[in-house]
Structure 1
Amino acid sequence: MRTAALHPTLAYHLTNTMGWPSLRPFQEKASPPIAEGRDTLLIAPTAGGKTEAAVFPLFGLMEERGWTGLTVLYVCPLKALLNNLLPRLERYAAWLGRRVGLWHGDVSASRRQAILRDPPDILLTTPESLEAMLVSRGVDHRRLFGGLRTVIVDEVHAFARDDRGWHLLAVLERLTRLAGRPLQRVGLSATVGNPHDLMSWLQGSGSADRPADVVAPDEEAAAAADVELDYVGSLPNAARVIAALHGGEKRLVFCDSRRMVEELGELLRGQGVTTFLSHSSLSADERRRAEEAFAQARDCVIVSTSTLELGIDVGDLDRVIQINAPWSVASFLQRLGRTGRRAGLRRNCLVLALTRHDLLASAGLLLLWSRGYVEPLHAPPQPRHIVAQQLLALTLQEGRIGDALWIDWWRGLAPFESAQPILDHLIRDGYLERDGEGLHVGAQAEQRFGRRNFMDLTAVFTAPPEFTVMNGDTEIGRTDPALLTAAVPGSRLLLLAGRTWSVEWIDWKRRRCFVSPVDGGGGKARWSGAQSVGTSFALSRAVRDVVLGTDPPVGLTRRATGELSLARGEHRDLVHPDGTVIARENGDLHWWTWAGYRANATIKATLGALADPTHPVDDLSIRLRNDLTGTGWRRGLADRLRPPAIDDRALNGLKFTALLPRELAADTLATRLADPVAAVFVLSKPVRLVVR
């Protein structure tokens, strides 16, 4: 392999050990900016070679510049992804006499101590584990991180769309100060609609003065994919279709919930299909066994939530099947990109809609995809609760912070520019206490977060309480405690890992339940989780286009075509090509905006007493007070938009809101639930009144 992009030893082994004739063009393009120390965002589909594109030039820099100790951090959102990457990176590193280490919650204490004694050249970890290291009194932060040069952030698009991204950026600023030098930031991402904005966000405080590049493979025609939409009407019917089609092939089936994964897995096994499962509530061993078995098998199915949308390797796939529409075009592209990697095989996806509503949503998403649309990615605004968490975490890290110098740790990172009111609240409520001109952790923080060495302070998401399910000494996974407390006739049956288990006894103190396998099915699956924020404005408008008669340019089965015709008939009076519709039916009054959840939440808040307060916001319409007549009440609404109202139950889903004044916490959530631009667009359109 002859290329200036590689260290000679790497080039030799890639040619002679791995049999690679050359680097991919995308990898060649990525090497110069990374080797020059520029911040770089690499955009490519899953298995597009992003990891190698990032690490190969860094291995060269290690050798050329004599870097020693821990110089590169590789940060991932999932422990399973780190586990999957480790052997691959270890192999590359060994060719150069370099070492790779792994640090996350499942790594043993002895292995962590070995890393602290003799740090590797590259450390694979999660943001939560980085935070745990920084707040730990058993870690010499400046010794461990003093030699850092580069941070690679894998699946950066997954971080940026929620508060884990803000947490990661804040931690990287603290690491920059500990290292005493700017840290090169290399992001690995799936396709997004605004890559340069994502690159700037990843740069954090350095976005104004550090050079940056975005590297992506040459554009591929979207038409180079075989996509088909079918209507099946129910999950059992979906199982029958999957069992009947594509025999002899390896199929990856995506579902939008853990419960659906379990139910479909059981149904497929009942159809005689070799089926494996993967989702976040299965034990790590159970997932690993399933993923390894699937990678080595043929004629089989693996059913997964979005966990396999990310870069975990499950080998070559023949086909992707999607149950209902994923939440975004970007997500669909990730899943579609799982196929078509072998020569002569095109990317493909079969979408199975379970209901008429799901059929419209799926058709709308495929219409957006066909138009080349990909959602722009914007980090959640106003992460004040993350600022509060970081102030406490920094105080734990340093033991004491100066009451005027703490701001220097984040070097002007945007959320910290207005942090003083949050700091004042932490002091006022006893989370921080003054000590001369410094601050230390207060009694209130000790009481609320001090258990297990403040571990609850290291993660910015709240995991619902779950019981560990054990079959003898083997952990199968976790389940919602509601399944263990609800009254049931006869045996209590759980559905987990695609099969039914009978609960033998429950250890309430240790939150464990012990089960044994039973034949015949009948088990129940359930998990609590974060509620979806609903459909976007772009997707809702695409669904409207479908109702108005536009078909997505994909294969439509006869069933899908027939059901789309019926769905259009049901909604014919509720769409207006030039505006919106207010429809009166059976005494109820609905405003059909087709604007998405956030825009409708904003419009409903602006309507105030004109909207029905008892009816929740949905994606397509707003229920109005049924005594309204005409449209005169709409005048001036666009000029007096209000943020959505927030109740205390909604605030409970935002971790660390207890560290904020209630009004700041409510404003954060209201800002995130609002879409004023889309709301103004809808309010500016004409309205048609209909009676059904």
Structure 2
Amino acid sequence: MSTSFSLLSKRLQQGIIDRLGWKSLRAVQEDSIPEILAGKNVIIQAATAGGKTEAAFFPILSTIFEEGLLPLSVIYISPIRALLNNQEYRLKKLGSLIGVDAFKWHGEVSYGDKKHFKLNPEHIMATTPESLEVLLMNRDKLYNNLFENIRFVVIDEVHYFAGSDRGIQLMSIIERIQQYSKFDIQRIGLSATIGNPNELLDWMQGSSKRKQSLIQPDANTKRKTKLFIRYLDEWSEDELYERVLPIIKNKKSLFFADSRSLAEKIANTMHEIGLNSRLHHSSISKLYREQTEHLLQKENEIMVACTSTMELGIDVGDLDLILQYNAPNTVSSFLQRLGRTGRREGKVAHYEFITVNKEALLKSIALVELARRKWVESVHFPFHSYHVLIQQVFSSVKENNGASQHQLLQLLKYRFNFSAIQEKEFIQFLDELVSNDCLELVDGTYFLSDKLDEQFSRRNYMDICSVFETTKEFIVKYQNRDIGTLDPWFVNIYYKETEPFVFILNGLVWKAVEIDFNRFIIHVKEAEKGAIPIWLGSGQKVSFEIAQQILKILSGYENYPYLDQNAKNKLKEYRTDFQYFGMKPGNIVIEEEPKGYTIYTFAGDVINYTIATFLKEYTGTEIKSDYQKINIKIKDYPYNNLESNIEKVKNMATRESLEILKKFVGDIKLAKFQKYLPKFAEEQYLVEQLFDTKKMKEYLCNVEIDWRLL
């Protein structure tokens, strides 16, 4: 074994050799062990199933053993319960190498087991941010010392957290736990590839005084990749039987879709053409999800239609093939999904895009080309995250049975996402929460108002612990066993008293026998044909980089060897039409029309929406935008006025732009706790979420405008 291996405790070395049967360490483990043993906060960035968990836990376990650390000493945090359940056995096995154990804490674990753990904690606790929040809020004197020995926090899929409200909440929770620990908690993040890993390290650092280290082992350049983009004229049984079934047959594969509805559609159609297919998404019951995970590990010929629940590192064994319906939303997702196949020595990583429309074909090519250039998205970090700060205020007040202004001001310290909020703004924030009957101030101590205290009472206290909105869904039962859940919106739209209510769930067709609208339960029996269910969700934005790459593809002549013949023919059609249009990278084309103007930018959804909002202010008319263009409906508007307005947008001062954008955030609702925000805080939060003035100005200053007037 290596030098890094020799740094580990003798007992752990013996366990790795004798019980795990390892003969060598992977590069990511070689690089991580000395840095973690040196006490540094680290980001370990490597492909899915690349050995990141062992890279983190080998040096952690060695430290626990060598220093005789007392429990609870490690908190492992996962974004989803499915991954938590999957990792529990792994953490227990690793812990057993030095004689320590792991405990899984989340909502499905019994009260008795949790109480026993509080009294007799293990060394490792695996949990989610929401469960940690519950633990903090429900501390009592008996368990006050639970966090005093915390030495390590391991955040799995840290890139996923960093780009979300849950990540902002998590960083604040870790700082609150830090108050109780006698150690400077060492922070270890396990990440997929992102564009700004050093900024991710800073985000994770918080109040820690430890040095930082970024672990990025060299990619496995020996791994071969087989990649195709296919184009189907239609999604039909005939097309799939002829062109997709031969690819999947006799293989173990995942078929990704970017919505639950599409995953249901895929599983049902594949089942109809005789394929052994299963389904995995968040509205399938836990029983069937775990059954599917077990089958993936055991069987060699199976296809699972899935959403991003299968992107986040759940161990399903070695896969032969990844398929993608249309295109994922980011290069990061594409690379993470690609990393799920071809993991074994000598195996080929095999990825197939199955596209069914123009946008999907162009986006798929764009993702592949950006990945080939080694480009991947950076995580966006907002700094005015009032919508999570307010949740942390409510939670802290409840945790401490009241809190002083000084105590609440600590919530701003060392929180990356609150760093632009000044102390005087926070005091104004608290004052307005009192005025708006969210908080009460009694003798210098803040309490929840009677209204909110009742709202977040014992029965509903979980509502204050999560920053995402949860809608009560209908539970579907067959022979009194849970199949999954349906969105109430879908049930209300499709259910008619005079007609059979037939739908697809878990890839199979069901007919409602009885619907209990009071208890949100639907009892079903098997049926033959039904509607694909719809779950409401937010659409994904196309980034500036992907939009610009699509423009480059349409305006260029490069051949892409990974396209099938159908896709090549379609791309040729699209290019012929577009090249007569004559737009190229570095240009904006503005076409005058009888009822206004269309501005073609290919600048992405956010930049175009930002430009459109400013032009709406200056023209006083309705303007719509998407990732390619901006449509202005205004008759008899001189082009030189529009030209002047674009110059204004390009050169306006930051304060002026902020005041304009605040006018247009209106009643847009993006976050669960947004409804409690004072107006000034809500405006700052929304402007930061919806617009990007900095990138917009950079773009406008580096393009030439091609005017095409009537």
Aligned to 1:509: 518
Q: 1:629 to 1:244 in 2, by over 3 A?
A: farther
1:9 Cα deviation after fit: 2.2
2:706 equivalent to 1:688: yes
Determine if contact 1:222/1:370 at 8 Å carries over to the other structure: no
Letter in 1 for 2:344: R
Helix, strand or coil at the partner of 2:179: helix
Letter in 1 for 2:466: A
Q: 1:113 to 1:215 in 2, by over 3 A?
A: same
Superposition pairs for residues 233-312 of structure 1, below 5 Å?
A: 233-236=233-236, 239-240=240-241, 241-312=243-314
Aligned to 2:434: 427
Aligned to 1:601: 609
Q: 1:48 to 1:200 in 2, by over 3 A?
A: same
Q: What 5-or-longer segments of structure 2 have no aligned partner?
A: none
Aligned to 1:229: 229
1:407 Cα deviation after fit: 2.1
**Distance in structure 1 (CA, Å) of the matches to 2:246 and 2:620:** 47
Aligned to 1:448: 455
For residues 282-311 of structure 1, the C-alpha deviation after alignment (integer angstroms, 9 at most, x for no partner) is 111111111111221122211111111111
Which of 157, 160, 163 pairs up with 1:161?
Answer: 163
Determine if contact 2:44/2:214 at 8 Å carries over to the other structure: yes
**Distance in structure 1 (CA, Å) of the matches to 2:596 and 2:354:** 33
**Distance in structure 2 (CA, Å) of the matches to 1:555 and 1:661:** 53
Determine if contact 2:187/2:205 at 8 Å carries over to the other structure: yes
Superposition pairs for residues 94-493 of structure 1, below 5 Å?
A: 94-137=96-139, 140=142, 142-206=144-208, 209-221=209-221, 224-236=224-236, 239-240=240-241, 241-408=243-410, 411-414=413-416, 415=418, 417-418=421-422, 419-450=426-457, 452-486=459-493, 487-488=495-496, 490-493=499-502
Deviates more, 1:495-504 or 1:451-460: 451-460
1:436 Cα deviation after fit: 1.4
CA RMSD of aligned residues (A): 2.2
Deviates more, 1:421-430 or 1:159-168: 421-430
1:45 Cα deviation after fit: 0.8
Helix, strand or coil at the partner of 2:166: helix
Superposition pairs for residues 47-126 of structure 1, below 5 Å?
A: 47-126=49-128
Letter in 1 for 2:335: L
Deviates more, 1:211-220 or 1:8-17: 8-17
1:122 Cα deviation after fit: 0.3
Helix, strand or coil at the partner of 1:504: strand
1:472 Cα deviation after fit: 2.4
**Distance in structure 2 (CA, Å) of the matches to 1:397 and 1:373:** 43
Determine if contact 2:552/2:584 at 8 Å carries over to the other structure: no
Q: 1:221 to 1:8 in 2, by over 3 A?
A: same
Letter in 2 for 1:561: K
Q: 1:624 to 1:139 in 2, by over 3 A?
A: farther
2:685 equivalent to 1:677: no
**Distance in structure 1 (CA, Å) of the matches to 2:474 and 2:467:** 21
Q: 1:37 to 1:461 in 2, by over 3 A?
A: same
For residues 449-482 of structure 1, the C-alpha deviation after alignment (integer angstroms, 9 at most, x for no partner) is 3352521010001123311111122111111112
Letter in 1 for 2:225: A
Determine if contact 2:616/2:622 at 8 Å carries over to the other structure: no
Q: 1:6 to 1:634 in 2, by over 3 A?
A: same
Aligned to 1:667: 684
Letter in 2 for 1:515: V
Determine if contact 1:29/1:215 at 8 Å carries over to the other structure: yes
**Distance in structure 1 (CA, Å) of the matches to 2:39 and 2:534:** 48
Q: 1:614 to 1:236 in 2, by over 3 A?
A: farther
Determine if contact 2:39/2:210 at 8 Å carries over to the other structure: no
Letter in 2 for 1:114: H
Helix, strand or coil at the partner of 1:277: strand
Q: 1:672 to 1:257 in 2, by over 3 A?
A: same
Helix, strand or coil at the partner of 2:274: coil
Q: In percent, how many aligned pairs have the same letter?
A: 30
Deviates more, 1:259-268 or 1:214-223: 214-223
Letter in 2 for 1:210: R
Helix, strand or coil at the partner of 2:591: strand
Superposition pairs for residues 2-41 of structure 1, below 5 Å?
A: 3-41=5-43
Determine if contact 2:275/2:303 at 8 Å carries over to the other structure: yes
For residues 575-612 of structure 1, the C-alpha deviation after alignment (integer angstroms, 9 at most, x for no partner) is 23441112246755311110001101110111125669
Q: 1:550 to 1:139 in 2, by over 3 A?
A: farther
Q: 1:385 to 1:524 in 2, by over 3 A?
A: same
TM-score (norm. length: structure 2): 0.92
**Distance in structure 1 (CA, Å) of the matches to 2:28 and 2:601:** 43
1:522 Cα deviation after fit: 2.2
**Distance in structure 2 (CA, Å) of the matches to 1:629 and 1:139:** 72
Aligned to 1:620: 628
Aligned residues: 687
2:545 equivalent to 1:538: yes
Determine if contact 1:70/1:145 at 8 Å carries over to the other structure: yes
Letter in 2 for 1:232: L
**Distance in structure 1 (CA, Å) of the matches to 2:158 and 2:6:** 28
Deviates more, 1:456-465 or 1:566-575: 566-575
1:524 Cα deviation after fit: 2.7
**Distance in structure 2 (CA, Å) of the matches to 1:77 and 1:327:** 19
1:271 Cα deviation after fit: 0.8
Letter in 1 for 2:612: K
Helix, strand or coil at the partner of 1:563: helix
1:615 Cα deviation after fit: 5.2
Superposition pairs for residues 582-593 of structure 1, below 5 Å?
A: 582-584=590-592, 587=595, 589-593=597-601
Determine if contact 1:258/1:279 at 8 Å carries over to the other structure: yes
Deviates more, 1:21-30 or 1:69-78: 21-30
1:644 Cα deviation after fit: 7.3
TM-score (norm. length: structure 1): 0.95
For residues 598-629 of structure 1, the C-alpha deviation after alignment (integer angstroms, 9 at most, x for no partner) is 10111011112566955543111000134334
For residues 137-182 of structure 1, the C-alpha deviation after alignment (integer angstroms, 9 at most, x for no partner) is 5585531111111100000000001111110000000000011432
Determine if contact 2:613/2:664 at 8 Å carries over to the other structure: no
**Distance in structure 1 (CA, Å) of the matches to 2:671 and 2:582:** 36
1:245 Cα deviation after fit: 1.8
Which of 557, 570, 578 pairs up with 2:564?
Answer: 557
